[in-house]
Amino acid sequence: MKRVRMLLRVSSNQQLEADGDLSVQRQIVLDYIGQHEDWVADEKEYFEGSRSGYKHAVSKRETLQEALEDARKREYEILAAYKDDRVGRRMWEMGAYIMALKSCGVDVYTVKDGCISPEADDIMGQMILALRYGNAQKSSSDTGMRVKDTAQKLVQKGKFMGGAAPYGYELVLSGELSKHGRALHTLKIVPRQAETVKHIYSLSLNQEYGSVKIANILNEDPCYRQLAPRDVWKAGTITSILTNPVYAGYTAYKRRERINGTYHRLDQSDWIRAEAPNEEIRIIEEDIWNRVQEKRKRRSDRYKKKRSDQAVSVIRRNDGMLPLIDVSYCGYCGEKLINGSRYHYWTIKGTGERRSSRTPMYRCRNGDGRADHPTALFHADRMEDAVFQCLGECIGRLLEHDDAAAAVFEKQKIRKKIAEAEWKKEEEILRRLRKGIEVMEGKIPDAIAGRCGFTAEELAEAVRSQRKKVLEQEQAVQRSRERRNKLVENAEKREAIRKAIPPWNQIFQEANPDTKRVLVQRLVERIQVTREQIRIRFKELPRNNLLI
């Protein structure tokens, strides 16, 4: 009796279900083994799940390597599979693998093709084997191209193309079935994770932190740490969140490309994006998402290297450095100031304990020992207090007819108007559908009497179809009405919140150093410092020189 081991492989997780392809595939192979009187099924079988036989090399497929190692130990004589493509789909590698099994006394049989193992001296058989897997490889390549083309079209229509849900979402049943009868899923926002995503975007946009700094901040906070994917925040995770357009409501495809077995990120210009946003999955406003992309691009090395961008002032790192360091210059020689912090060390006599203190300073490298340079050091505390006081007054004057509360709620007013318009639009569509049903129902008597171009059955079917659309439209109207009502309710609470929000000047003075550094970068073009005065040149302000 020849010992037979089955090789089973499925290419997707759905095929692992109890009534899916795996159980059917196993039974077909068992029935095939039973047709041979001199074969006996071995207790051991080889299974490879959710692993492409086209994308992965034979040397990387542990199941095939295990089957080859067992063949060398003479543990079985036949390897049986459902079809030749269950073994693999690589033209040259699969031929070599099957011949390696043959050299160990193992023949490969498939239910659809019979024995596919040629003899060692059968050159024609080996050529046929190569052609067999050449066709399998071409078939996989063609299928991949069709899948990609279809996926691009579906993504452009706003469809989610499957895979793991991005952070901030979970997969829920969409109520639709694929052409293979499998249940399709869609994205649903997870509220707590969505708030974390908003915090990440805020740190990137308002504090101009990089991915590493944001990951460290989240890991240091117990509340955010427990919400981390796989228990810890990593810079790569933050980068993926900050660059994924799904958070702005746009599903995307072809953000990565597989080259020689390794995935590479593609430029945003190469992405396939949905033509319109899906409001049900939007977490971040589109304007905020776009501004984050622009700022991250400006901080990148490739942006800095371009000659045309040398004059652009950007914060490349914001990790506790002196907040005025990017725009401060010596008033005596024009040299840009650098970090000149002083450190003091002393020993406590009673205990012998060594202690130290740091005095933050701005320093000019040209100032040491020059007669025309009265000082090379400027105390950071004194300089920053004066500059921040001036900036606070400037912000107050610029926004004297505005306040922080008005700015906070301005977008909410716009969103309320949009929601109101969308609700009315949905109501109008519903009215037209109902009107259409009335017209068709009114024509049914004429159709029965033969005085209409349509039969009564055709009109009845059209009415049923329209009523189905009416039900769907009523749901759309209900959702639109709920969004509009929620915004109206929020509007009633605005006045109380408005009173609790301080003016812009106070907000600026109470901001942390990193935030102040970002604001200085946006408002100030240059600060010139001498012992007697600080001269600030603002960006695009009518009165751009203030003496302190």
Convert the pLDDT of each residue in 205-241 to its tens digit.
888 888 988 999 999 999 899 999 988 999 999 998 9
Report CA 109 to chain centroid distance, whole Å. Answer: 44
Which of the two residues, 190 and 152, has the higher pLDDT score? 190
pLDDT at 543: 43
pLDDT at 308: 44
- Cα dist. 100→79, 82, 120 in Å? 13, 20, 10
Element (H, E) at 174: strand 169-177
Mean predicted confidence (pLDDT) in 437-465: 79
**Predicted confidence band of residue 547 (pLDDT cuts 50, 70, 90):** very low
Whether residue 12 has pLDDT greater than 70: no
Percent of the chain with pLDDT over 70: 73
Whether residue 254 has pLDDT greater than 70: no
Residue 31 to residue 23: CA distance in whole angstroms: 12
- Cα dist. 89→13, 85, 134, 148 in Å? 19, 6, 8, 19
pLDDT at 18: 37
pLDDT averaged over every residue in the chain: 78
pLDDT at 153: 59
**Predicted confidence band of residue 540 (pLDDT cuts 50, 70, 90):** low
Maximum average pLDDT range among 34-38, 87-91, 134-138, 363-367? 34-38
Tokens of 391: 């900036």
Residue pLDDT, tens place only, 492-522: 666 555 555 555 566 666 677 777 777 787 7
CATH fourth-level superfamily of 169-305: Putative Large Serine Recombinase; Chain B, Domain 2 (3.90.1750.20)
Mean predicted confidence (pLDDT) in 366-391: 83
pLDDT at 55: 59
Whether residue 264 has pLDDT greater than 70: no
Whether residue 182 has pLDDT greater than 90: no
**Predicted confidence band of residue 107 (pLDDT cuts 50, 70, 90):** very high
Residue pLDDT, tens place only, 419-441: 788 888 888 888 888 888 888 88
Strand partners, 41: 4
Q: Residue ranges of the alpha helices (H) in 116-221?
A: 123-156, 191-206, 211-220
Q: What are phi and psi of 60, to 5 degrees?
A: -95, -5
Whether residue 29 has pLDDT greater than 70: yes
- Cα dist. 340→221, 279, 365, 369 in Å? 32, 50, 9, 16
CATH fourth-level superfamily of 2-148: Resolvase, N-terminal catalytic domain (3.40.50.1390)
pLDDT at 73: 93
Q: What is the dihedral of CA 412, 414, 415, 418, to 10 degrees?
A: 160
Beta-carbon count within 10 A of 108 CB: 23
pLDDT at 307: 43
Judge contact between 63 and 48, C-beta under 8 A.
Answer: yes
